[in-house]
């Protein structure tokens, strides 16, 4: 072989090396509404670490926290359309499409952590029914994320009894939670979690519903004085992935992602009791925390009995199946 041939071969080799990617890396972006310091942010960081280690860097996870890309009300549409590969959403954000997801907001349907855990297991009839309906919207739930129980925030006066909410404008994040407020004489106002702080600060609303674990990371204690631990509903989040993106992944990558998702789901579910307990202790440093006794809870249950019937009316046949499955737990 002469020098000219060797030179030409060398150019071809160099051109091919330049044109081909060094690796078949897959990048998956995740939109998160909360800061990385929140337990959902930490949960995503655990997922990122697990996936990147197990894939030896072939799968790259990029997290965009604090609603940098999308508000929580926009995430489902963003993921289903393919604008972003993955996102974290509150289950309630699907209520417009799948009203049955609001089963977790039917007052006192899940009064204990044990019942919440039973309902959210991957093979639970409640979760199986809901996951199947969610996949039909173009996104796939990868794992459910425990967020904790719903609490009430207020500024001008403490809320302990149902009549205390009469006439109040109350921030909610779901239609069924709105029905709860209406049942006790309040006026519900739906808004995203990222909008809470300014709404409380400006007095746009008098009170609000949120998860106890959000009070610290969102600094809500700076703009609200009272925290009432009603625990009348359970907040569930989930990380979803665009279904077409999921189907485009290799079987090996799907296996790595699914295993990591299950691992971090279990870790978070096991931590949630302590997370909430620690959050309450922290809140007590800045706010007045009101706890309800059995007599108080009985009053709230009686005042909100209409919400269950409204849920059944709004959620149709799927809702009836989900409610029955929940009551059978």
Give the pLDDT mean for 139-159: 96
- Is residue 270 pLDDT above 70, yes or no? yes
DSSP secondary structure letters along 231-252: --SEEEEEEEEEHHHHHHS-HH
Give the pLDDT mean for 157-171: 97
Cα 160 versus chain centre, distance = 27
CA angle 235/267/216 to nearest 5° reads 50
Closest CA to 169 of 180, 181, 179: 181
Other Cβ atoms less than 10 A from the Cβ of 176: the count is 24
Contact 107, 308 (CB under 8 A): yes
Helix intervals (H) in 284-305 = 294-303
CA distance 115 to 111: 7
Give the pLDDT mean for 290-306: 97
Sketch out the chain's domains with CATH numbers. 26-328 (3.40.190.170)
User: What rounded mean pLDDT belongs to the chain?
Assistant: 92
Give the pLDDT mean for 221-250: 97
pLDDT in tens, 97-125: 999 999 999 999 998 889 999 999 999 99
Q: What are phi and psi of 28, to 5 degrees?
A: -120, 120
Give the pLDDT mean for 175-180: 94
CA distance 313 to 63: 38
Task: Tell me the helices (H) and strands (E) count for the chain, helix number first.
Answer: 12, 10
Contact 311, 323 (CB under 8 A): yes
CA angle 137/138/140 to nearest 5° reads 100
Strands (E), 32-90: 59-64, 86-90
Other Cβ atoms less than 10 A from the Cβ of 324: the count is 12
By CB neighbour count within 10 A (0-12 exposed, 13-18 middle, 19+ buried), where does 167 fall? exposed
Strands (E), the chain: 26-31, 59-64, 86-90, 139-154, 169-172, 187-190, 207-211, 226-229, 234-242, 288-291
CA distance 116 to 101: 14
CB neighbours of 287 closer than 8 A, spacing ≥ 6?
215, 221, 224, 225, 226, 227
pLDDT band, residue 194 (cuts 50/70/90)? confident
pLDDT band, residue 11 (cuts 50/70/90)? very low
pTM for this predicted structure: 0.84
pLDDT band, residue 24 (cuts 50/70/90)? low
Residue predicted with more confidence, 217 or 32: 32
- Is residue 8 pLDDT above 90, yes or no? no
What percent of the chain clears pLDDT 70, i.e. is strictly above it? 93
CA distance 99 to 120: 17
Most confident of 34-43, 66-75, 249-258: 249-258
CA neighbours closer than 13 Å in the CB half-sphere of residue 231:
20
CA angle 74/75/80 to nearest 5° reads 110
Give the pLDDT mean for 239-249: 98
CA distance 328 to 274: 27
Contact 212, 151 (CB under 8 A): yes
Q: What pLDDT score does 174 carry?
A: 86
Give the pLDDT mean for 174-194: 94
CA distance 200 to 197: 5
Contact 328, 125 (CB under 8 A): yes
- Is residue 13 pLDDT above 70, yes or no? no
């Amino acid at each position: 072989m002469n020098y000219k041939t060797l030179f030409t071969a060398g150019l071809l080799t160099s051109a091919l090396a330049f044109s081909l990617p060094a690796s078949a890396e897959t990048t998956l972006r995740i939109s998160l509404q909360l800061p990385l310091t929140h337990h959902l942010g930490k949960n995503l960081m655990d997922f990122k670490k697990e996936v990147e280690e197990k894939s030896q860097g072939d799968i790259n996870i990029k997290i965009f926290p604090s609603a940098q890309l999308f508000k929580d009300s926009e995430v489902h549409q963003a993921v289903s359309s393919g604008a972003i590969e993955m996102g974290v959403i509150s289950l309630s954000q699907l209520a417009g499409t799948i009203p049955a997801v609001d089963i977790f907001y039917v007052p006192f349907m899940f009064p204990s952590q044990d019942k919440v855990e039973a309902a959210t297991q991957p093979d639970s009839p409640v979760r199986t029914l809901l996951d199947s309906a969610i996949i039909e919207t173009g996104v796939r739930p990868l794992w459910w994320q425990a967020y904790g129980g719903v609490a009430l925030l207020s500024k001008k006066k403490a809320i302990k009894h149902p009549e205390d909410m009469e006439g109040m404008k109350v921030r909610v994040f779901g239609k069924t939670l709105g029905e709860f407020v209406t049942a006790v004489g309040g006026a519900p106002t739906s808004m995203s979690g990222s909008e809470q702080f300014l709404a409380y600060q400006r007095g746009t609303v008098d009170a609000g519903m949120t998860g106890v674990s959000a009070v610290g990371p969102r600094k809500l204690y700076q703009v609200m004085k009272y925290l009432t631990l009603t625990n009348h509903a359970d907040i569930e989040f989930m990380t979803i992935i665009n279904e077409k993106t999921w189907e485009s992944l290799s079987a090996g990558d799907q296996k790595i992602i699914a295993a990591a998702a299950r691992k971090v789901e279990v870790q978070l579910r096991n931590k949630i009791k302590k997370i909430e307990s620690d959050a309450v202790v922290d809140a007590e440093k800045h706010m007045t925390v009101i706890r309800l006794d059995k007599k108080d809870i009985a009053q709230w249950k009686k005042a909100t009995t209409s919400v269950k019937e409204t849920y059944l009316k709004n959620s149709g046949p799927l809702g009836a199946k989900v409610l029955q499955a929940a009551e059978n737990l």
